[in-house]
Amino acid sequence: MRVACAQINTVVGDLDGNVERIRAAVRGAADAGAMLVLTPELAITGYPPEDLLVRPSFADASREALEALAESITDCVAIVGFVDHDEDIRNAAAVIADGRVQAIYHKRFLPNYGVFDEARYFRAGDQPIILDIEGARMGIVICEDIWYPAPVAAELARARLDVIACISSSPFHAGKGDARERMLQTRASDSAAALVYCNQVGGQDEVVFDGRSAVIAASGEVVARAKIFGEELLIADLELDLAAGHRLRAPLLRRLEPLDSPAPVFVSAGVANAPVGPPSEIAPIAAPERELWDALVMGVRDYVQKNGFPGVIIGLSGGIDSALTAALAVDALGPDCVRGVAMPSVFTESRSTEDAQFLADLLGIRMDVIEIAPVVNAFETELVDAFEGRDRDVAEENLQARVRGTLLMAISNKHGDMVLATGNKSEMSVGYCTLYGDMAGGFAPLRDVSKTWVYRLSSWRNMDAGKEVIPEATIERPPTAELRPDQKDSDSLPEYEVLDPILLGYVEEDLPPAALVERGFPEDVVHRIVGLVDRAEYKRRQGPPGIKITPRAFGRDRRMPITNRYGTR
């Protein structure tokens, strides 16, 4: 049996556009001789639709779009994700063949953690579905259904299937792709069935989907793997006799009673074409830096383009965060769509503006220079009476950052380009950022990227290019906000080699301060950092969204109360 995975980049709410993407992929699969083609979870609507799902008209439109799509599918069997609406709404997979919907499966495990809120929207299914496609027995699952060994996966094993078809919209975070593929290999081997896994690819607000669809033999061997962070029609040939032989040799199945499953739904593949061309190759697994870079690039590209912005504006300070943000933007959008703005103050060293200009030259982007001293002086003059009797402090420092944010937003309003904020996760964690200043912007690519990873990615990008993309002088320079004379980040924070592991333990792993002290971190430093993290929650709520690349991204995954008197403060 030749099978195909349509790893496509859908857009939430673009039902007509998504149907055309599906139709083109199915046509390509049929032309290649595929008998079966899978699309991602909720491919008709895009994933996740969030509160669009509480509009009955949206769910009804999903079914109407599905019926229109079905009329054009006559040469193969397609499994298409959509929203099913009867007395309630369900996350569903339609089996389409011979120009109509032949059967529907409803997702049984509804994830309700991290970025997922499916129990908020959907009613869970409670029945398996077994298909007979030209003599091959196949079961269908949707994403979360396959992640647990029981009951759904165990039922599939007991059904003695030849093929398990899994449609998915599994979001990316660093390291997840390897873990997910190992899980799929285990499910295939335990079930003694080939497993065809089709995952979504693309960016949707803060979430990115890596794709990495795969076809896995009954033995657990990966026979085809799609690339990460790119659309692809993955083609693979399954030897169903191998699955049957594996079932005879698999001792696990002999210990499981056969499933008293519903009668199979017989589905004809229509006039199946003979296989044309070789199957897809097994795409290589990317290095961690490449994987993370591609995730950030896709997140920026899809957020900007899907929301209709012509380009982006970035405040270039001469520092590493703005340099990395600019390099990502150029890789995502091209240099003509990226504009840098340097805004030196009286505290800005000349090398900062020079490094920013050098970066702009390396990237081939436009850079404007706007001196902010006159604007800052005008604000300070007007604030003399309001500040009377108070020493100069962080208020004047933040005023400079807010002037810069105002200027960037003014240029954005005039030209329509979106401002990219440049703050990283380490800074956002402890509140080392200025509301309405450096936090101003429509999107923050580095919001979930620690400072340690900022350095690692910057060095990797130069190494990968074999030349300077980000100035080495910028990478080597100690980080500074330059809001007062001779200022360094280390004046206010521990060195990032100390700070980031503490943040990893507290934010990512939810460890209490005592456990961090047991790891060898100074007690006073731990309690200070934990207090900063807790107190900065109100700032993070007001910041722009950013790309999720860890399991505990602020906002989507880690949701803490702003008003909070729990004892970790």
Cα–Cα separations (whole angstroms), residue 310 to 208, 337, 338: 21, 7, 9
Residue 416 neighbours by CB distance under 10 Å: 12
Q: Which residues pair with 201 in a beta bridge?
A: 210
Q: How far out from the chain centre does Cα 458 lie?
A: 20
* 8 Å CB contact between 315 and 294: no
Which residue among the candidates 5, 41, 166, 451 is catalytic per the annotation? 41
* 8 Å CB contact between 334 and 309: no
* 8 Å CB contact between 195 and 164: yes
Per residue, the 3-state secondary structure of 140-155, as one string, reads EEEHHHHCCCCCHHHH
In single-letter form, the type of residue at position 365 comes to: I
Block residue for tokens 């059904």: 159
* 8 Å CB contact between 362 and 471: yes
Which residue among the candidates 5, 107, 118, 337 is catalytic per the annotation? 107
Q: How far out from the chain centre does Cα 191 lie?
A: 30
| Token pair recorded at residue 84 | 């099913």
Alpha-carbon torsion angle 186, 187, 190, 191, nearest 10: -150
Q: How many CA atoms lie within 13 A of 313 on its CB side?
A: 25
Beta strand extents in 295-383 (DSSP E only)? 312-315, 338-342, 366-369
In the three-class reduction of DSSP (H, G, I as helix; E, B as strand; rest coil), residue 52 is classed as helix
Report the residue count for the chain. Answer: 569
DSSP-assigned letters across all residues of 238-282: --HHHHHHHHHH-HHHHTSPPP-PPPPEEE---SPPPP-SPPPPB
Q: Is 143 a catalytic residue?
A: yes
Q: Is 337 a catalytic residue?
A: no
Inter-residue long-range contacts of 112-121, CB under 8 Å, 24+ positions, other chains counted: 114/551, 114/556, 114/557, 115/48, 115/171, 115/206, 115/207, 115/548, 115/553, 115/556, 115/557, 116/48, 116/144, 117/48, 117/50, 118/91, 118/144, 121/53, 121/54, 121/89
Which residue among the candidates 5, 143, 198, 337 is catalytic per the annotation? 143
* Residue of 152, 248, 256, 251 whose CA lies nearest to 195: 152
DSSP-assigned letters across all residues of 174-203: TTHHHHHHHHHHHHHHHHTSEEEEEE-EEE
| Token pair recorded at residue 77 | 């069997």
C-alpha to C-alpha distance for 546 and 321, rounded to whole angstroms: 14
| Token pair recorded at residue 569 | 């403060």
Q: Is 41 a catalytic residue?
A: yes
* Residue of 400, 387, 391 whose CA lies nearest to 436: 400
In the three-class reduction of DSSP (H, G, I as helix; E, B as strand; rest coil), residue 370 is classed as coil
Active site residues: 41, 107, 143
